Amino acid sequence: MAFELPPLPYAKDALAPYISANTLDFHYGKHHQTYVTNLNNLTKEGPLADKSLEDVIHAVAGDSGKAGVFNNAAQVWNHTFYWHCMKPGGGGKPSGAVAAAIDQGFGSYEKFVEEFKNACVTQFGRGWGWLVADKGAVKVTKTPNADLPMAHSQTALLTCEVWEHAYYLDYQNRRPDYVQTFLDNLVNWDFVAGNLAKA
């Protein structure tokens, strides 16, 4: 079963002016596609060929001899998840169960924003900032490179990608501005709520 590049949940220009169609052309059309192509090349023959993306990640996580498979599989998963974390007209304070979980976990939405932005901005080099469910609580974490919460028995609720290809065409070296814009204008809290309900 060959892995395929999943469709974006919106048009390439739908997140403008916050994330441009030009960024998505490169980020989705080239970077994400390359991870899919690499993963297919690495798994087309052998026991991983017929596994789901999540099963491949679990099967090779922590196996240094399968680092290439893990990195490409995890990046396919991470990017697919990241696209769904955004929507046109998103961002701002959540409501309902997500707001309650954030208040319980952080004390306030403002405190969550502070911790989430700090995780994203201080992730050295490439990586991801996450809101995760972990043993019944929500917390902020960050991972380098392709690493992801499921490799640490956590459930991903929200992510902001801080690999430079996610923001450099639009924000250059202003990572803090990109993360703040993500929180203020792009977060798909409905997607986060769905993930929380399954955690």
- Domains annotated for the chain, with CATH where assigned, are 21-84 (1.10.287.990), 96-198 (3.55.40.20)
Phi-psi region of 92 (alpha: psi -120 to 50; beta: other; left: phi over 0): left
Query: What is the reported pLDDT for 1?
Result: 64
Question: DSSP assignment of 53-92, as one string?
Answer: HHHHHHHHTT-GGGHHHHHHHHHHHHHHHHHHTB-TT--S
| C-alpha dihedral sign at 27, 29, 34, 39 | positive
Residues with Cβ within 8 Å of residue 6, at least 6 apart in sequence: 80, 83
- pTM above 0.75? yes
Cα-Cα-Cα-Cα dihedral of 181, 112, 154, 147, to 10°?
A: 40
pLDDT per residue of the chain (199 residues) written in tens, 0 to 9: 689 999 999 999 999 999 999 999 999 999 999 999 999 999 998 899 889 999 999 999 999 899 999 999 999 999 999 999 999 999 999 999 999 999 999 999 999 999 999 999 999 999 999 999 999 999 999 999 999 999 999 999 999 999 999 999 999 999 999 999 999 999 999 999 999 999 9
Q: Which residues, in sequence order, are CB contacts of 171 under 8 Å at separation 6+?
A: 177, 178, 181
Question: Whole-angstrom Cα distance, residue 155 to residue 194?
Answer: 12
**Cα 184 from Cα 187, distance rounded (Å):** 7
The answer to whether residues 158 and 131 touch, using CB atoms and an 8 Å cutoff, is yes
